[in-house]
Amino acid sequence: MNAIGSLLKGAGMVVWFVAGLWGFFLCLGIISHVAGFWGIVAGLFLAPITFVAAPLYAGFEHGNWFPLILNYGGGVVAMVLMGIGGAMRGDD
DSSP 12-72: HHHHHHHHHHHHHHHHHHHHHHHHHHHHHHHHHHTHHHHHHHHHHHHHHHH---HHHIIII
23-40 pLDDT, tens per residue? 999 999 999 999 999 999
Q: What is the pLDDT of residue 29?
A: 92
> Where residue 92 falls among pLDDT bands split at 50, 70, 90?
low
Q: What is the pLDDT of residue 90?
A: 83
Secondary structure letter of residue 92 according to DSSP: -
56-74 pLDDT, tens per residue? 999 999 999 999 999 999 9
